[in-house]
């Protein structure tokens, strides 16, 4: 089988991870510009000041994407480039950059898939309480509106937020991302709610203003599976899926929160502050979501937590080390002897990917799905000057095959975006952890070079994955 004609083969990036030009052309500070400069926060204190200089080299990069036959490019818009202070005056130079980027994509017949928020919050808003402050929600809606009006004539695919679970949990539970707060469980749930409301209001505005095209949200897809059939571990699985998946997907796709989590949070006094109006906007916008974006890298294997430990959750903390407890101490994620892991200890499982998509279909029906990220973080071997990233090819091949099976089994997957199109800054792992089809030589003026996977993906796209 060939993948359907309108299925989009793409690859992704995010503004802070590729652009650089952190203080050029009127851009304001983002929370990451500030956070990454606090000593010890990132691997070898790397930051995105220059990143891979996509801001200046986007033409060269898009030409390479075109050469690969890429059908769609998912990138994000840096909010502080458009509104240096988060709100107030628009920075025309910021709009100009994204106008150019979009036009360059279209020139090469590459469909731009735009993420509005991929974590680089204007620092001015972070200082006023960030996502805990509901004024950030209003500011986001204004930013979204500006993007719809400025780019909506050419952009037909919009993602409001990337991975709320990560920026909220790493921001407020583990402190690994800005604003670097640890253990604020109530704050964590409040920020997730505020983000869902911001999403819903942006979706409503998009539809009310008659913009054409599709709008949705991208979530981490980290389905939990019990390590065995023991009742207590099955319970851990149910609990993990409720808190890590249903809490995030239900308000978007069903327009209401999962009862199990609401009850649990109420008992502990952790339920976010929510108004009737907010609950209402979630309810009425649920049917307006055109798709859900899934970022899938690995599943979680869970079991009952038998220690007294309670620790912050989230993938950064839970897959790297065996036996990490969840934030509420009910379950823990474990590494299993019979599973395969990356160098960063993320499990590789196309089977769990497919099983997880079926779990979603069972709960949410035929909602359209885009795989908005999937890929292998690795240290690529260089042999005689060639970047031989065979493990990446194998990883993507396995997962694309799972997508193909999903489509054959009636799951509505409309596109696949590998993470990432080019080697870029890994938030906490610097430039060491590579994901791209295109290599960037940091010892040679950031020169670009095609990897083995570049040629492989080109062939996959050209044949519409017929041979997978």
Nearer to ligand BGP, 66 or 428 (CB): 428
17 annotated ligand binder: yes
Nearer to ligand BGP, 419 or 457 (CB): 419
Nearer to ligand BGP, 47 or 295 (CB): 295
Point out the catalytic residue in the list 104, 278, 316, 373.
373
* Least distance from ligand BGP to the Cβ atom of residue 150, Å: 24
Given the rule CB under 6 A, which residues bind ligand BGP? 14, 17, 162-163, 166, 295, 373, 377, 419, 426-429, 433
* Least distance from ligand BGP to the Cβ atom of residue 398, Å: 17
Cα–Cα distances in angstroms (integers) from residue 88 to residues 28, 82, 125, 139, 267, in the given order: 12, 10, 12, 9, 41
Nearer to ligand BGP, 194 or 420 (CB): 420
Helix H, strand E, coil C: the string for the chain is CCCCCCCEEEEECCHHHHCCCCCCCCCCCEHHHHHCCCCCCCHHHCCCCCCCCHHHHHHHHHHHHHHHCCCEEEEECCHHHHCCCCCCCCCHHHHHHHHHHHHHHHHCCCEEEEEEECCCCEHHHHHCCHHHCHHHHHHHHHHHHHHHHHHCCCCCEEEEEECHHHHHHHHHCECCCCCCCECCHHHHHHHHHHHHHHHHHHHHHHHHCCCCCEEEEEEECCCEEECCCCHHHHHHHHHHHHHHHHHHHHHHHCCCCCHHHHHHHHHCCCCCCCCHHHHHHHHHHHHHCCEEEEECCCCEEEEECCCCCCCCCCHHHHCCCCCEECCCCCEEECCCCCCCECCCCCECCHHHHHHHHHHHHHHHCCCCEEEEECCCCECCCEECCEECCHHHHHHHHHHHHHHHHHHHCCCCEEEEEEECCECCCECCCECCCECCCEEEECCCCCEEEECHHHHHHHHHHHCCCCCC
* Least distance from ligand BGP to the Cβ atom of residue 259, Å: 28
297 annotated ligand binder: yes
As a residue count, the chain comes to: 468
208 annotated ligand binder: no
* Least distance from ligand BGP to the Cβ atom of residue 46, Å: 11
Nearer to ligand BGP, 218 or 285 (CB): 218
79 annotated ligand binder: no
- The phi, psi pair for 37, rounded to 5°, reads -95, 0
Point out the catalytic residue in the list 163, 237, 316, 347.
163
Nearer to ligand BGP, 58 or 257 (CB): 58
118 annotated ligand binder: yes
Dig out the tokens for 387 from the structure.
């970047």
* Least distance from ligand BGP to the Cβ atom of residue 435, Å: 6
Q: Are 423 and 376 in contact (CB under 8 A)?
A: no
* Least distance from ligand BGP to the Cβ atom of residue 191, Å: 16
Residue number of the CB closest to ligand BGP reads 426
> Does 96 qualify as catalytic in the annotation?
no
> Does 351 qualify as catalytic in the annotation?
no
Nearer to ligand BGP, 233 or 317 (CB): 317
* Least distance from ligand BGP to the Cβ atom of residue 31, Å: 15
Catalytic machinery residues: 163, 373
User: Which residues are known binding-site members for substrate?
Assistant: 17, 118, 162, 297, 419
User: Which residues are known binding-site members?
Assistant: 17, 118, 162, 297, 419
């Amino acid at each position: 089988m060939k993948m359907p004609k309108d299925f989009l083969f793409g690859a992704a990036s995010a503004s802070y991870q590729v652009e650089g030009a952190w203080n050029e052309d009127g851009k304001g500070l983002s929370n990451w510009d500030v956070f990454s400069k606090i000593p010890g926060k990132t691997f070898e204190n790397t930051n995105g000041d220059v990143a891979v200089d996509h801001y200046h080299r986007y033409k060269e990069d898009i030409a390479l994407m075109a050469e690969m036959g890429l059908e769609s490019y998912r990138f994000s818009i840096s909010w502080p480039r458009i509104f240096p202070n988060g709100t107030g005056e628009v920075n025309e130079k910021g709009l100009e950059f994204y106008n150019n980027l979009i036009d360059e994509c279209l020139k090469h017949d590459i469909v731009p898939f735009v993420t509005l928020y991929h974590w680089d919050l204007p620092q001015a808003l972070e200082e006023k309480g960030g996502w805990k402050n509901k004024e950030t929600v209003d500011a986001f809606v204004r930013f979204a509106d500006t993007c719809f009006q400025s780019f909506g004539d050419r952009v037909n695919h919009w993602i409001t937020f990337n991975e709320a679970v990560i920026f909220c949990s790493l921001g407020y539970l583990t402190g690994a991302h800005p604003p670097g707060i640890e253990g604020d469980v109530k704050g964590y749930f409040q920020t997730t709610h505020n983000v869902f409301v911001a999403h819903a209001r942006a979706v409503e505005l998009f539809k009310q203003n008659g913009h054409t095209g599709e709008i949705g949200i991208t979530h981490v897809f980290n389905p939990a599976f019990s390590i065995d059939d023991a009742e207590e571990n099955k319970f851990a699985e149910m609990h993990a899926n409720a808190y890590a998946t249903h809490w995030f997907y239900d308000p978007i796709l069903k327009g209401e929160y999962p009862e199990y989590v609401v009850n649990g949070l109420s008992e502990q006094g952790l339920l976010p502050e929510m108004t009737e109006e907010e609950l209402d906007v979630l309810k009425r916008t649920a049917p307006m979501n055109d798709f859900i974006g899934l970022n899938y890298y690995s599943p979680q294997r869970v079991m009952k937590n038998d220690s007294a430990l309670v620790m912050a959750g989230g993938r950064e903390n839970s897959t790297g080390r065996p036996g990490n407890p969840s934030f509420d101490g009910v379950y823990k994620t474990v590494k299993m002897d019979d599973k395969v892991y990356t160098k960063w200890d993320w499990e590789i499982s196309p089977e769990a990917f497919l099983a997880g998509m079926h779990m979603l279909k069972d709960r949410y029906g035929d909602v359209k799905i885009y795989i908005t990220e999937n890929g292998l973080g690795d240290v690529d071997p260089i042999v005689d000057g060639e970047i031989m990233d065979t493990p990446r090819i194998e990883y993507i091949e396995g997962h694309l095959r799972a997508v193909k099976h999903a489509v054959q089994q009636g799951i509505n997957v409309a596109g696949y975006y590998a993470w990432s199109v080019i080697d870029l800054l890994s938030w906490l792992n610097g430039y060491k952890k590579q994901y791209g089809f295109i290599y960037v030589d940091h010892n040679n003026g950031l020169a670009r070079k095609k990897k083995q996977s570049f040629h492989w993906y080109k062939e996959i796209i050209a044949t519409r994955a017929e041979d997978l």
